[in-house]
């Protein structure tokens, strides 16, 4: 038993001696990308604080996505630097992204349409609009739905429907 432990420790020492610098470099790369992700997210948060409230949530969403992308690239680069073959990992991420994108295409198209509606602002809260034969007052605009109120009814219209159809602004809200 003691001989087995000694052999294991000798093998571990060899691995640390051979791979130690690569592992430390990989950890340094990962740390640098982690810090870069936090810095980018912080810059985007401060930029979002200076924008109007309609665009605030979209900018924060983009900041979180940017941070996640930076950290993922850092993990892949760190693993590659440590001597781990990341080709299968990259292929798996690509296939997983494709499958998720295909499965969530309706939700993602609504989110993208919501971002574009918030950015281009064809209408805003309290405007009276007509969208696909529904006329009402805009109550809220979020990333998935635009909510209209009319005749004591609430209509949740998917943003893709709004983005792909004609919008008639009947009356603009005050300044």
Q: What is the pTM of this model?
A: 0.62
154-173 pLDDT per residue, tens? 999 999 999 888 888 888 87
What one-character-per-residue DSSP string does 42-76 give? Answer: HHHHHHHHTS-HHHHHHHHHHHHHHHHHHHHHHHH
- Shared fold status for 2-103 and 123-171: no
In CATH, the architecture of 123-171 is: Roll (2.30)
Q: Report the CATH architecture of 2-103.
A: Orthogonal Bundle (1.10)
* Contact predicate 167/138, CB 8 Å: no
Q: What is the pLDDT of residues 31-55, one digit of tens each?
A: 999 999 999 989 988 887 887 766 7
Dihedral sign of CA atoms 14, 20, 23, 25 in order: negative
Locate the domains of the chain by residue range. 2-103, 123-171
């Amino acid at each position: 038993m003691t001989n087995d432990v000694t052999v294991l420790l000798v093998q571990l020492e060899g691995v640390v001696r051979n791979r130690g610098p690569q592992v430390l470099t990989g950890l340094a790369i990962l740390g640098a990308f982690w810090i870069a992700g936090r810095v980018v997210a912080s810059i985007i948060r401060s930029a979002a604080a200076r924008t109007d409230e309609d665009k605030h949530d979209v900018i924060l969403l983009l900041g979180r996505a940017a941070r996640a992308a930076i950290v993922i690239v850092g993990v892949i680069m760190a693993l590659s630097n440590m001597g781990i073959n990341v080709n299968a990992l990259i292929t798996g991420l690509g296939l997983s992204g494709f499958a998720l994108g295909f499965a969530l295409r309706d939700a993602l198209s609504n989110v993208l349409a919501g971002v574009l509606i918030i950015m281009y602002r064809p209408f805003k809260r309290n405007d009276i609009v007509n969208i696909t034969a529904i006329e009402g007052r805009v109550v809220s605009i979020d990333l998935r739905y635009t909510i209209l109120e009319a005749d004591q009814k609430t209509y949740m219209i998917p943003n893709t429907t709004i983005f792909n159809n004609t919008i008639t602004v009947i009356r603009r809200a005050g300044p």
